[in-house]
A and B are shown apart, each in its own frame.
Chain A
Amino acid sequence: MADYSYIALVPLLPLATFVLLGLAGKNRLVKWSGYIGSATMLGSAVISLYAAYQYFFVNGKTGDAYAEITALRYTWLEFAPGLSIDMGIILDSISVMMLVVVSFISLMVHIYSVGYMKGEERVTTYFSFLSLFTFSMLALVVSSNIFQIYIFWELVGVSSYLLIGFYYQKPSAVAASKKAFIVTRFADLGFLVGILILAFYSGSFDIGTIINRATDSQSEAFTGLVSAGFLGMSALTWSLVLVFAGGAGKSAMFPLHIWLPDAMEGPTPVSALIHAATMVVAGVYLVARLFPVFYIDEIAMQVVTYVGAISALVAAIIACTQTDIKRILAYSTMSQIGYMMFALGVSGYGGEEGLGYTASMFHLFTHAFFKSLLFLGAGAIIHFVHSNEMKDMGGLRKWMPVTHITFLIACLAIAGVPPFAGFFSKEEILLAAYQSDKIVYGIGLFVAALTAFYMFRLYFSVFWKKEAADASHHGEGTWSMKLPLIVLAGCTVVVGFIHFGNYISSDGAPLPTHFDIRFSIAPVVSAVAGILLAAYLYKKESDRPAKFATALGRLYRAAYKKFYIDEIYLFITKKIIFNLIGAPAAWFDRNIVDGIMNLLASGTARTAALIKGMQSGRVQSYALYFFGGVVALAILLIYIWI
């Protein structure tokens, strides 16, 4: 077995950057922080790529299938023998793939940020937080211990919090950062309890051990998980649904998605890295990591499938009505993650059955490229027009040629037009859904059309529609911003052709994927239909969109208002939690509990005054009486009652 311990450098390099820039504070290293961050990320990315090459092409296989390699393991906190939190690095096909994705996209975002954040006051802080995020995300994906995942899960959460609230003087940014943290925290509660249940029955936090024990129908762990129950569901179902709740929170699945659109308050490169390509797919990754356990529980799989499918649909509908370009992209992210989620839900385990698993990971992979490209493009646009609103844009193709072309490529990819990356992965997902659940397939197909529609609505509104005012006086952006766009666009064209099944499958063995032209007809036709409709409505300025919206009436308004989910949450938190739990608790404490204590004290004082007339006001004497009484009481107890 080859030595992979050098992979520790991949997360440790950004950690070093975080410590260095974090200690430097906001005023020092201002000029250098971007370069330091990018250079260390380049190091991480190169090492990850090298490791991926080694793993996939040189020595990762044992026999025919890709093996799981433990590169490092270190006991961090041992609760009891066998029950410990280990920090380690585990390599299998999905963790290696994620290493490449995270370090590569992070590198692109770092380079882009050098240009984008130029002139900002707190650049050093920005890059240190970005490094903290990258470190945590990289350490998360290589986790071999479920508690290690949880630890870095929280750390990516806090990095996300810090970066969303980067413009800390803006109340909306502060509110968004809070919301993101608290909503995901709520979901993490489920994750934590899920871990506790799983670990209690399987007697370990080690993922491999949990999988082995929980899937072995002869084992004690399995019997325990299946026979123990609570409120009519087995412990196994409970634990998986709860763990999934954690994943759903992080991955912004319905109904825990409300934080993601608001998270767009953060700097745009942050949205590209955290809220599009990496952190938000952690939920999908988590399910994939525990897939063998999920697979044995039908209810949990159904939950995964339908939460994914509903999220994909709801988000796509809302995306069609929004006007803030980053929010549209955020909803689109949620919708695409919904695809990945239901692909896992409909998947089987092993061999041909595992197509959904492969497709899900494939889509995660391609999505990372084209979605970060879309966000970085959006960043360039926002940089150019100083607004997030589509109404302030239009005709930009003339002034931003590089952004225009790369953005178009990304739009085609996400819409599922061949031969761009999104087409292949979405195709596989739809095929997997078709083979197992026709309803989900129908939703998937419809969402594909919606995706094409809202992406091209965005594209035409930004780059076509009206003639832009003359903006020749300022350029499109620096090279550090354009280069990542071009690189990512290149990737978006190329990565779809990878035979993903050869490398990543539910059981590690190569999964031959067949490409059937007849099956592609429906998705491609619906995508093209969506694009044509968008072109008809938005390519030129007209009153067609307004008419269209009026025709849809209530549905349009509900979608525009995001189905009032935010309002429902607000009602629950403000009205119920604050007014019905918090306020009474605080009142009760001050008035009842404390009131009784004060009453006791004043009662004692008054009694003392009545009996002895010795109200000296000196604590010492009170204390003396007190002790006297107590000693008497003790003597009574000891000698008479016993």
Chain B
Amino acid sequence: MFLPTLIFVPSLTALAVLVCKGLKQVRVVALAGSLVQLVLSLLLFVQYRQERNAGNDAQWLWEWDYTWFEPLHINFRVGVDGISIAMILLTAFVVAAGVLVSWTMEKLSKEFFFLLIFLGMGAYGFFISLDLFTLFFFLEVAVIPKFLLIGIWGSGKKEYSAMKLALMLMGGSALVLVGVLGIYFNSDIGNGQHSFDLVAIAQTGISPQAQNIFFPFAFAGFGIFTALFPFHTWVPDGHSSAPTAASMFLAGISMKLGGYGCLRVATYLMPEGAQTYAWIIILLATIAILYGAFATMMQTDLKYINAYSSVSHCGFVLLGIGMLTQISITGAVLQMVSHGLMTALFFAAIGMIYERTHTRMVAQLGGLLKVMPFISTVFVIAGLCSLGLPGLSGFVAEMTVFVGSWQNADTWYRVATILACASIVVTAVYILRATGKAIMGPMSNAYDNLADARWNEKLAAGILVIGILAMGIAPFWIQDLVKPGTESIVQRLLGF
């Protein structure tokens, strides 16, 4: 497959959206574009399997290289392994669902859909980049639309949230930039030449001293994107002020850019640094998991509940990475995919409920199952996925993280693992509290005439539920997909 297609399709879609007139044209074009992209991503997955089955064991598939700026050795270099493909699949699912739930976005619809597609394009570009400079470029591409999406289409204290999110993520980007520059100036790909090329740097390596200095920058920078404690406070405000599709994108895609970066840039390129700082990562991740879960328990707004629970769930991603075992890192990737699908579904359901009842406060809702069985079922499925019910994706991901973490035989890491496991109880508490109050229980008469989901909402939820079930019922395919990628990371951790 010609990988730049994955960037061209959304770019073309975004341009086409700009020349369209009216909501009706815009949304059809946006949907068509995102469905094409979904098909392409599935095709990519199928072709990947074919290549691997045919015995192609190259680390990167379909590499493509275009020199962008010769003096600084900046190339537009792309290529994918299983981890990238998993993330691309996730992005395609979430983008399609996000476009579908925004079907009736009347306000500035052209700009709205443009930004959505543009954000998606940034994510695709990020996931296929093999050059640190382009990777950073696409990271920024994915940040800026978020500011506008929240600031313009948001609700509540949207200006504050948009500013907070933009500043914190830019702070994260700044740290990433330091890390990237540090890697660049310490790389040596022969003749004392520096390079942004991820593949070349991985082959030649960086000195351990430099790794110990720059690993924290890169990891913390990407970590901010994925709600690393204590830099997670943009998450609750940002998510809850954002319009539904933007919340889905934020939690489903943006937070994954961070996890992917932590893995691909920080851990892969600086394995010694990762080993030095593993204990801090594990400490912060464990805090995020438990503290996030307890904080979630006290929330009264559905979006805040899901946002705080994202802090807790993304802690599993960081924990999996910090444990540095093959299984735990695989678990981290699975958790990224699973959390992306689940949280997008959750936000979609919350958005549908909010649109009808005009409230997100748990205390004001009640018994919605009676009038909106479909939406309620979707909410419950997302909730059960969040609390790690077998058969849904969350279970597979969390168990892989737990089993992988346990392989790290350090006693304190074991304690961290047990504490992380304990969060599944707290998760059950907050999920069942919200479900018991909002979905079950007596219903207020004011909701008597509310309608259930429309076709576009059903389709959006359906896409995400299929993803969740596919991963939850038959996890072997995604495991096979991700494993070679994590193996190459672990090999570097073990010093080849």
Other-chain contact of A181, B167, B298, B370, B432 (Cβ < 8 Å): B432
Cβ-based interface call for A583 (8 A): yes
Interface string of A428-459 (1 = CB under 8 A from B): 00000000000000000000000000000000
* A168 and B441 within 8 A (CB): yes
Query: Which chain B residues lie closer than 8 Å to A589 at the CB level?
Result: 233, 291, 295
Distance A460 CA – B21 CA, assembled complex (angstroms): 79
Other-chain contact of B396, A77, A583, A638 (Cβ < 8 Å): A77
Distance A193 CA – B420 CA, assembled complex (angstroms): 11
Query: Which chain A residues lie closer than 8 Å to B164 at the CB level?
Result: 597-598, 601
Distance A147 CA – B495 CA, assembled complex (angstroms): 33
With A175-B436, A634-B178 given, is the CB distance from A152 to B167 under 8 Å? Answer: no
Interface string of A163-188 (1 = CB under 8 A from B): 00100110100110110011001101
With A169-B441, A185-B428 given, is the CB distance from A626 to B174 under 8 Å? Answer: yes
Interface string of B323-357 (1 = CB under 8 A from A): 00011001000000000000000000000000000
With A174-B440, A597-B233 given, is the CB distance from A578 to B297 under 8 Å? Answer: yes
Cβ-based interface call for B479 (8 A): yes
Query: Which chain A residues lie closer than 8 Å to B396 at the CB level?
Result: 77
The count of residues in chain B whose C-beta lies closer than 8 Å to any C-beta of chain A is 72
Distance A188 CA – B427 CA, assembled complex (angstroms): 13
Cβ-based interface call for A471 (8 A): no
Chain A: minimal CB distance from B171 (Å): 7
Distance A566 CA – B252 CA, assembled complex (angstroms): 40
Chain A: minimal CB distance from B400 (Å): 7
* B298 and A582 within 8 A (CB): yes
Query: Which chain B residues lie closer than 8 Å to A32 at the CB level?
Result: none
Other-chain contact of B442, A169, A175, A601 (Cβ < 8 Å): A169
Which B residue's beta carbon lies closest to that of A162? B380
Query: Which chain A residues lie closer than 8 Å to B441 at the CB level?
Result: 168-169, 171, 174
Which one, B9-17, B26-34, B81-89, B401-409, is touching chain A?
B401-409
Cβ-based interface call for A220 (8 A): no
Cβ-based interface call for B443 (8 A): yes
Which one, B54-62, B125-133, B384-392, is touching chain A?
B384-392
Other-chain contact of B295, A169, A174, A196, A586 (Cβ < 8 Å): A586
Chain A: minimal CB distance from B276 (Å): 16
Other-chain contact of B181, A77, A85, A165, A631 (Cβ < 8 Å): A631
Interface majority SS (helix, strand, loop, mixed), chain B = helix
Query: Which chain A residues lie closer than 8 Å to B433 at the CB level?
Result: 178
Other-chain contact of B421, A83, A189, A622 (Cβ < 8 Å): A189
Other-chain contact of B389, A26, A155, A175, A577 (Cβ < 8 Å): A155
Cβ-based interface call for A75 (8 A): yes
Query: Which chain A residues lie closer than 8 Å to B327 at the CB level?
Result: 79-80
Chain A: minimal CB distance from B227 (Å): 12
Query: Which chain A residues lie closer than 8 Å to B186 at the CB level?
Result: 638
Distance A578 CA – B433 CA, assembled complex (angstroms): 13
Which B residue's beta carbon lies closest to that of A633? B178
Cβ-based interface call for B425 (8 A): yes
Beta-carbon contacts under 8 Å, A587-604 to B: 589, 593-594, 596-598, 601
Cβ-based interface call for B168 (8 A): yes
Cβ-based interface call for A154 (8 A): yes
* A78 and B476 within 8 A (CB): yes
Cβ-based interface call for A497 (8 A): no
Which B residue's beta carbon lies closest to that of A25? B373
* B384 and A158 within 8 A (CB): yes
With A26-B373, A151-B390, A583-B298 given, is the CB distance from A630 to B367 under 8 Å? Answer: no
* A168 and B326 within 8 A (CB): no
Chain B: minimal CB distance from A30 (Å): 14
Interface set of B (CB-CB < 8 Å, partner A)? 147, 163-164, 166-168, 170-171, 174-175, 177-178, 181-182, 185-186, 209-210, 213, 230-233, 291, 294-295, 297-299, 326-327, 330, 367, 369-370, 373, 384, 387-391, 395-396, 399-400, 402-404, 406-407, 409, 411, 417-418, 421-422, 424-425, 428-429, 432-433, 436, 439-443, 475-476, 479
Nearest first, the 7 closest Cβ-Cβ pairs linking A and B are A586-B298, A168-B440, A151-B390, A585-B294, A594-B233, A630-B174, A582-B297
| Complex A-B: 9 CB contacts under 8 Å | A77-B399, A168-B369, A168-B440, A169-B440, A196-B417, A582-B298, A593-B232, A598-B164, A630-B178
Interface set of A (CB-CB < 8 Å, partner B)? 25-26, 75-80, 83, 85, 147, 150-152, 154-155, 158, 161, 165, 168-169, 171, 174-175, 177-178, 181-182, 185-186, 188-189, 192-193, 196, 199-200, 230, 577-578, 581-583, 585-586, 589, 593-594, 596-598, 601, 619, 622-623, 626-627, 630-631, 633-634, 637-638, 642
